[in-house]
Amino acid sequence: MNLILSIESSCDDSSIALTNIDTLEVIEHLKISQESKHCEYGGVVPELASRLHAVALPNLLEKLKPYFEQIKEVAVTTHPGLSVSLHEGVIMAKAVSSFLGVPIIGVNHLMGHVYSLFIEKQEQLPILMLLVSGGHTQLLRVESFNKMQILATTIDDSVGEAYDKVAKMLNLGYPGGPIIEKMAKEGSRDRFAFPVPMQNSPLVAFSLSGLKNAVRLEIERLGEGITHSNKCDIAASFEYAVIRHLIQKSKKVFKSDASRYFAIVGGVSANSYIKDNFKSLCKEFNKELLEVELKYCSDNAVMVGRWAIEAYKNGNINTIEDINVKATKRLNVGDLLEL
Ligand code: KG4
Ligand code: ZN
């Protein structure tokens, strides 16, 4: 077998995978999530994340020793992410590449999320995508592995960040997304009339900070006496405002986009309420909704390896000296994601 070893450590998940370069079959997918360690802080603490990666990654790699002779290339996330966390993966990738004498490929984490859609599958391109994670909220038009254009982006917080912050304000723990989604199912979405962001603006952009503040004010108003039922209603009303915002702005892009396929990728794409609403939008615009397998919605090394297989086949290989944690520029509408 010709295998690619891929490493992901951009935030709080230590993950390593092996994928067959020729058949795209996932051979191994190992992941240690640090969520419980960061939970008491209500968010990811970078130095703690980096220390935990330094212990977890070598332990995971040890398990893959029997495959070493079959590894033909190494891929690692180099940007964007927490630099101290990325560093741990990059150091290990360089060591393995040098030890085995195989090429190394640096991967943009966002391009990895895009390719989470094509794990164990051929690409279906061009495609319109909504990338919603803890760090990013972007509508992208994806033409190929190295041509992904930003059509809309958030002007402040990302969607995942808003879920996490609302959960933190309600003392519900981290990550907030899955908890808020669960509580929203028990609550009433009409209880609080939170504002739909940028509802009257012609801009095709996202914004979550105003909504987050409206939620904060309501929590303050309820004060000490806030009940579980109040929290469920806040979760449901918040999620209802989020989905109306995402659909309203995406609809503007759907109207002018001719691609046959649409997908939601990134950690927030695990949310079934968001997915169901986009299913209806796709129906209205005659687009086919492609779905990422639930286990690949959040950060993982398999998506990093899947993107790198395309890069490898197209000769997009780096040298060990080239590979470093990259600082990322703020990108605007019209820009291409950077390799
Ligand atoms: O892609 P990801 O694993 O990491 C980043 O690249 O940021 O996304 C993590 C984000 C977190 O903010 C988390 O709260 C959110 O995805 N998330 C969700 C759900 N599951 C995870 N947000 C809403 N609903 C969910 N079910
Ligand atoms: Zn991610």
The 10s digit of each residue's pLDDT in 292-308 is: 999 999 999 999 999 99
**At residue 85, does pLDDT exceed 90?**
yes
Q: What whole-number distance in Å separates Cα of residue 87 and Cα of residue 51?
A: 11
Return the pLDDT at 39. 83
Kindly report each contact of residues 211-218 with a partner whose C-beta sits within 8 Å and lies 24 or more positions away, as own/partner.
211/162, 211/238, 211/241, 211/242, 211/245, 212/157, 212/162, 212/165, 212/166, 215/166, 215/169, 216/169, 218/192, 218/194
Query: What does the pLDDT look like over 306-338, one tens digit per residue?
Result: 999 999 999 999 899 989 999 888 899 999 999
Q: What whole-number distance in Å separates Cα of residue 136 and Cα of residue 151?
A: 13
Average pLDDT of span 83-94: 98
Return the pLDDT at 40. 81
Return the pLDDT at 36. 87
- CB 81 near ligand 1, within 6 Å: no
What's the 161 CA to ligand 2 centre distance in angstroms? 12
DSSP secondary structure code for residue 53 in this structure: H
Average pLDDT of span 125-140: 97
| Residue located via tokens 């739909």 | 196
Return the pLDDT at 192. 98
Q: What whole-number distance in Å separates Cα of residue 117 and Cα of residue 81?
A: 20
Helix (H, G, I), strand (E, B) or coil at 318: strand
- CB 238 near ligand 1, within 6 Å: no
Helix (H, G, I), strand (E, B) or coil at 166: helix
Measured from the alpha carbon of residue 175, the closest ligand is 1
Average pLDDT of span 15-27: 98
What's the 273 CA to ligand 2 centre distance in angstroms? 20
For the chain, where are the E strands, in sequence order? Answer: 3-8, 13-20, 26-33, 71-79, 104-108, 127-132, 137-144, 147-153, 261-265, 288-290
Return the pLDDT at 330. 85
The string of DSSP letters for 239-292 reads HHHHHHHHHHHHHHHHHH---SEEEEESGGGG-HHHHHHHHHHHHHTT-EEE--
**At residue 142, does pLDDT exceed 90?**
yes
Do 77 and 8 touch, CB atoms closer than 8 A?
yes
Residues 6+ apart with CB under 8 A from 143: 125, 126, 149
**At residue 50, does pLDDT exceed 90?**
yes
Kindly report each contact of residues 137-143 with a partner whose C-beta sits within 8 Å and lies 24 or more positions away, as own/partner.
137/206, 137/208, 138/110, 139/204, 139/249, 139/250, 139/253, 140/114, 140/337, 141/257, 141/259, 142/114
- Specify the DSSP element, H or E, that contains 238: helix 228-256
Q: What whole-number distance in Å separates Cα of residue 284 and Cα of residue 59?
A: 48
Pocket test for ligand 1, best of 163, 297, 300, 337 (most atoms within 8 A of CB): 163
| Residue located via tokens 């398999």 | 302
**How many other CB atoms sit within 10 Å of the CB of residue 211?**
21
Query: What does the pLDDT look like over 193-217, one tens digit per residue?
Result: 999 999 999 999 999 999 999 999 9
Q: What is the mean pLDDT of the chain?
A: 96
Q: What whole-number distance in Å separates Cα of residue 338 and Cα of residue 107?
A: 10
Percent of the chain with pLDDT over 90: 94
Return the pLDDT at 146. 97
Return the pLDDT at 208. 98
What's the 322 CA to ligand 2 centre distance in angstroms? 23
Q: From the alpha carbon of 81, which atom of ligand 1 is closest?
A: 6
Return the pLDDT at 33. 92
Q: Whose CA is nearest to atom 7 of ligand 1?
A: 134
Pocket test for ligand 1, best of 242, 268, 300 (most atoms within 8 A of CB): 268
**How many other CB atoms sit within 10 Å of the CB of residue 308?**
31
Query: What does the pLDDT look like over 229-288, one tens digit per residue?
Result: 999 999 999 999 999 999 999 999 999 999 999 999 999 999 999 999 999 999 999 999
- CB 176 near ligand 1, within 6 Å: yes
